[in-house]
Structure 1
Amino acid sequence: MLDLLPDLCDQYGQDVRWLPLTMLDYGGRKVFYGEVVTLRCFEDNSLVRDIVSEDGTGKVLFIDGHGSCRLALLGDQLAFLAQKNHWEGVVINGAARDVGTLATIDIGVKALAACPLKTEKRQTGDRNVTLTVAHTMVYPGDMLYADLNGILLSQKRLDLSFLEKDSS
């Protein structure tokens, strides 16, 4: 299943919110989905480490870095930690680094850009808050669906069984 989002839009158009933001795909997994955990932080990824250290089964971390690409909020070490703890993916309204290595890790990673500089460590940020990104509300507990077509959000988990019927 390479193109999940077009099928979801066709099936659930009234139930999904499109995130109209062009992001690049850096992770080894190009199609991913899960329950949203939100983090708002600016040029400080201290709380990213704390969150991806937890069990992320069925979850996607959505980091609002306020669109800053001056410092990277995710690199290979945090991505490996997220993969180890079963996170489905990480979406960054900001930058990632170590993008060559990120492409080899089986986790979804979307970000605005690459930046080789690491962040400051001040233990600042707000977890599980409602975000506004590209004029789109992102709520903790939303379901996020991502592929090369972009990102969709839904207030409820969408039934994907119709996709299995289409492929048979």
Structure 2
Amino acid sequence: MTATADLYDLHGDSLQSLPLQLRSFGGVPQFEGTIRTVRCFEDNALVKRILATSGDGAVLVVDGDGSLQTALMGDMIAQSAVDAGWSGVVIHGCVRDSVILGTMPLGVKALGTNPRKSAKAGVGEIDVPVEFGGVVFRPGARLFADADGILVER
């Protein structure tokens, strides 16, 4: 994969650059793929459900409304994503089991960590455009991530 800085130099404003300083938690620091989305708030049932389906190298973008109160993904859901062939997960919220996530062959970016479990009611939306940090993440668009940040096709 080409570095995000080089991609931006080549394609400029045809790419959106996420200004949020998400932390990298996965064992794969550089990843890319077609976007799928989940919008949820302190409830990870939809995240778990989607990541258990075939990923085909896709990236799941989770808009958790920036909540730091609960984790939206931990090691068990991340292992499911690895097993199903996802390339990465970007979470506008928290993860848990961060040490284990760092050993897994999955790209993971999130705001931070919290050991607290989330609700499991399944409230939220799947495969709808989500927006955070001034960037719109549309299902089907491409996402590119590395140590410098995240770029998304317009």
1:144 alignment partner in structure 2: 143
CA distance in 2, matches of 1:136, 1:25: 18
1:61 alignment partner in structure 2: 60
CA distance in 1, matches of 2:31, 2:62: 16
Shift of 1:70: 0.5
CA distance in 1, matches of 2:89, 2:153: 17
Q: Secondary structure at the match of 1:87?
A: coil
**1:74 equivalent in alignment to 2:95:** no
1:8 alignment partner in structure 2: 7
Percent of counterpart pairs with the same letter?
42
1:97 alignment partner in structure 2: 96
Runs of 4 or more consecutive aligned structure 1 residues displaced over 2 Å after TM superposition: none
Shift of 1:66: 0.0
CA distance in 1, matches of 2:112, 2:103: 18
| Equivalent AA in structure 2 for residue 130 of structure 1 | P
Shift of 1:14: 2.7
**1:132 equivalent in alignment to 2:131:** yes
Instruction: Provide the aligned length of Structure 1 versus Structure 2.
Output: 154
TM-score (norm 2): 0.97
Shift of 1:127: 0.4
Shift of 1:52: 0.6
Q: Secondary structure at the match of 1:11?
A: helix
CA distance in 1, matches of 2:86, 2:92: 18
Gap runs ≥5 in structure 1 = 156-168
Per-residue CA deviations over 1:110-155 (Å, capped at 9, x if unaligned) read 0000111110111111001111101221111110000010100014
Q: Secondary structure at the match of 1:77?
A: helix
CA distance in 2, matches of 1:78, 1:45: 9
**1:25 equivalent in alignment to 2:24:** yes
Task: Look at both structures and tell me which one has the larger radius of gyration over its CA atoms.
Answer: 1
Gap runs ≥5 in structure 2 = none
Alignment of 1:84-123 (within 5 A): 84-123=83-122
CA distance in 1, matches of 2:16, 2:90: 16
| Equivalent AA in structure 2 for residue 128 of structure 1 | D
Q: Secondary structure at the match of 1:47?
A: helix
